[in-house]
């Protein structure tokens, strides 16, 4: 699964995207799995209220299923316009 | 409907003029333009805008389509830049054309409110002190409640 | 602030582009443009706009000044034509510049609502059936209640 | 006193402006005086709810005093924009 990071999430994790082998069922499961792997994920994902998530380029929440998902992205609240 | 995401500058005058060359049913055109505002201290060197290629266009298209469902609109235009911008440069614009002014105004405000908080752009301000990500404002999220 | 009443056409693109070349405190520019819309039957030959020279400029200036008192604005532009116009021609425009978008939008809507019902312009539609004065709409008068 | 007429008020009265000698104290008095003079004024001023008035280029109402006024204008509700 492709996992993408933007803005300060990207900076904390250190890469803009990576291929992740996972059997996580939901976004929350993936966050826990990554956070357990390495400190930089734990730091980036520490405050979930400050995070937004998209699965296959559609905004969703941490309860979302990853069944069939090809691309998951984590980022802070948007600040466009 | 036209949705453009680009790093190059755009010409507001040219875009607004072209957009308003509308069909005979259009009575009202509203444009909104966002400009890189300097900091209170006046020390902004640049603004960098990151985005999520692919999702950005899809999100803007969905927002524009919802506006077209909700109001009687003849046309919608959204242009949003990314990359490196300097103070005074135009970041983005939306334009709406409608038979009546109330629809054109409401749709332009709706587009802006959703674009601010639901389209995947992130701003970073570069000053003499370094670079800092712009925090999302509670009032921008709250603005969505009115729709 | 710039208030213009003229019979000559204006160039929206040029006006919008020039207006938005703003000082460093401006983050938001809103423009509204009114266009001569054809009748439902599509038989509009022309629209004639009569005005009250002297009072027109004073009324528009007063409306713009009240908007500047009420919202935090960097600049205001109002252009309104009179005389003979054909379908698709631009009748008028307002533009507002502000540090923040909520002020720019609210002020532009306020300007339009007051301009519609309190500035001395009268429209007459010329069709194959002859000439008919456009009636003021109850909804335009009602729109003032929100301010 | 200069009296001005616009739009269909102008058409019904037949002139865009005229000098009127009057001692009317208020706009309403002037309307009555003119309406009594000639039928075309009575017709133009018949429905006051459909009329607006400006004294010296400022919108006002029919109760307004004409004391010191140089210019009075009658017209239908405005339809700009």
pLDDT at B39: 83
For the cut 90, the answer to whether the pLDDT of residue C65 exceeds it is yes
What's the first-to-final CA gap in chain B, in angstroms? 21
Size of interface C-D (CB pairs under 8 A): 71
Confidence of residue B25 (pLDDT cuts 50, 70, 90): confident
What's the confidence (pLDDT) of residue B82? 98
Nearest alpha-carbon partner for A59 in B54, B118, B74: B118
Using a CB-CB cut-off of 8 Å, the residues of chain C touching B42 are 24
How would DSSP label each residue in D20-70?
-----SBHHHHHHHHHHH-HHHHHHTS-GGG-EEEETTEEE-TT-B-TT--
- CA–CA distance, B7 with B79 (Å, rounded to integer): 10
Chain C residue numbers with beta carbons less than 8 Å from the beta carbon of B112 are: 101, 105
d(CA B119, CA A60): 13
- The pLDDT of residue C22 is 65
Contact with chain C for residue B18, Cβ under 8 A: yes
Q: Which residues of B touch C87 (CB under 8 A)?
A: 24
In the predicted structure, residue B146 carries a pLDDT above the cut 80: yes
CB contacts, 8 Å: D79 with chain C: 116, 121-123, 133-136
Q: So what's the pLDDT on residue B24?
A: 67
Chain A residue numbers touching B92 (CB-CB < 8 A): 80-81
Helices (H), C20-128: 55-70, 101-118
* Count of domains for chain D: 1
Q: At B21, is the pLDDT very low, low, confident or very high (cuts 50, 70, 90)?
A: confident
> Please, which residues have CB within 8 angstroms of residue C111's CB and are 6 or more apart in sequence?
C32, C63, C64, C67, C76, C78, C94, C96
Mean pLDDT score of chain C: 95
Say if D37 falls within a structural domain. Answer: yes
Tens of pLDDT, residue by residue over C27-51, are 999 999 999 998 888 899 999 999 9
Q: What is the mean pLDDT of residues A18-31?
A: 97
Check pLDDT > 90 for residue B23: no
Arithmetic mean of pLDDT, A38-66: 97
Across the range B68-86, mean pLDDT stands at 97
pLDDT the model gives residue C133: 97
Half-sphere exposure of residue A9, counting CA atoms within 13 Å on the CB side? Answer: 24
Does the beta carbon of C112 lie under 8 angstroms from any beta carbon of chain B? yes
C neighbour chains, 3+ CB pairs within 8 Å: B, D
Q: How far is CA A42 from CA A5, A9, A36, A61, B133, in A?
A: 14, 11, 7, 18, 20
Q: Structural domain of residue A41, as residue ranges?
A: 2-75
Asked if residue C92 has pLDDT above 80, the reply is: yes
Range of weakest confidence among B20-29, B77-86, C32-41, C81-90: B20-29
Q: Do residue B35 and residue C26 have CB atoms under 8 angstroms apart?
A: yes
DSSP states of A8-54: HHHHHHS-SEEE-----SBHHHHHHHHHHH-HHHHHHTS-GGG-EEE
Mutant choice from B31, B55, B111 vs A, greatest count of A C-beta within 10 A: B55
Interval B84-111 mean pLDDT: 97
Rounded to an integer, the average pLDDT of A6-29 is: 98
A6 and B122 within 8 Å at the Cβ level: the answer is: yes
Q: Does A25 touch chain B (CB under 8 A)?
A: no
Total structural domains in chain C? 1
State the pLDDT confidence band at B77, using cuts at 50, 70 and 90. very high
Rounded distance between C-alpha atoms, residue A14 and residue A40, angstroms: 8
Interface test with A, best of B3, B48, B136, B142 (most A CBs within 10 A): B136
Per-residue DSSP letter, C99: S
Chain B interface, best mutation among C10, C14, C15, C16, by max B CB count within 10 A = C16
Report ipTM for this prediction.
0.95
Among chain B residues, CA nearest to C22? B88
pLDDT (0 to 100) of residue C41? 85
Residue D80 lies in a domain: no
Q: What is the CATH number of the domain that holds A8?
A: 3.10.20.30
User: What percentage of chain C carries pLDDT values higher than 90?
Assistant: 90
- Asked if residue D53 belongs to a domain, the reply is yes
Range of the domain at C99: 2-146
A81 inside domain? no
Confidence of residue C125 (pLDDT cuts 50, 70, 90): very high
Q: What is the CATH number of the domain that holds C84?
A: 3.90.1170.40
Contacts of D5 in chain C (CB under 8 A): none
């Amino acid at each position: 699964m492709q996992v993408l990071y933007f803005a300060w999430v990207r900076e904390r994790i250190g890469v803009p995207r990576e291929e992740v082998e996972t059997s996580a069922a939901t976004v929350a499961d993936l966050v826990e799995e990554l956070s357990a792997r390495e400190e930089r994920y734990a730091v980036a994902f520490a405050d979930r209220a400050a995070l937004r998530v998209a699965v296959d380029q559609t905004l969703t929440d941490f309860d979302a299923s990853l069944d069939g998902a090809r691309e998951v992205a984590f980022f802070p609240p948007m600040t466009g316009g | 409907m036209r949705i453009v995401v680009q790093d190059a500058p755009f010409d507001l005058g040219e875009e607004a003029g072209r957009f308003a060359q509308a069909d005979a049913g259009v009575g009202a055109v509203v444009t909104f333009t966002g400009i890189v505002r300097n900091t209170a201290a006046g020390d902004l060197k640049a603004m960098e805008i990151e985005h999520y290629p692919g999702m950005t266009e899809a999100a803007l298209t969905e927002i524009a389509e919802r506006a077209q469902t909700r109001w009687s609109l003849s046309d919608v235009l959204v242009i949003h830049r990314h990359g490196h911008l300097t103070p005074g440069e135009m970041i983005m614009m939306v334009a709406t054309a409608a038979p009546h002014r109330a629809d054109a105004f409401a749709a332009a405000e709706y587009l802006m409110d959703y674009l601010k908080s639901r389209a995947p752009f992130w701003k970073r301000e570069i000053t003499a002190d370094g670079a800092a990500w712009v925090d999302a404002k509670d009032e921008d999220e709250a603005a969505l409640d009115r729709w």
